[in-house]
Amino acid sequence: MTVVVRPVPGHFAVARLSHDSEWPQWALDSGGLLSISRTSTETSVVCEERLVPDGITRESGLAAYVVDGPIDFAVTGVLAALSVPLARARISIFAVSTFDTDYVLVRATDAFAATDAWRAAGVVVEA
């Protein structure tokens, strides 16, 4: 299986809200990647970093990559193909999955090293 990823334009953040916070209307202006996940302990928001209001707990300065999809639910190992080379290179990731595909976010300062690690592992990184 050959995994193909390409960068998503923009600068992203992962914000943390309480589990019972109101729906983050400020994130809805995201023109591209937007993911809101709620559990019994927290709400996480992935969006363009410019949209996250001051005072919100966040991890900013992230670069995002999308896996060419759609990926059939029967396909296995896609996230492993992406995460293992980065773990070996000591690059932290934040992964988001949608119905059709996966997204991997890394610190923007690690973007070049992530690309190198993926290419060395056989992942195709498109511009």
- Tens of pLDDT, residues 33-79: 999 999 999 999 999 999 999 999 999 999 999 999 889 888 999 99
Residue 34: how many CA atoms within 13 Å on its side-chain side? 12
Residue 31 has a pLDDT of: 77
pLDDT at 70: 87
Percent over 90 (pLDDT), the chain = 87
Three-point CA angle 6, 12, 17, nearest 5°: 135
d(CA 3, CA 111): 17
Which domains does the chain carry?
A: 4-119 (3.30.2130.10)
Give the separation between CA 123 and CA 19, rounded to whole angstroms.
36
| Token pair of 115 as six digits | 């690309």
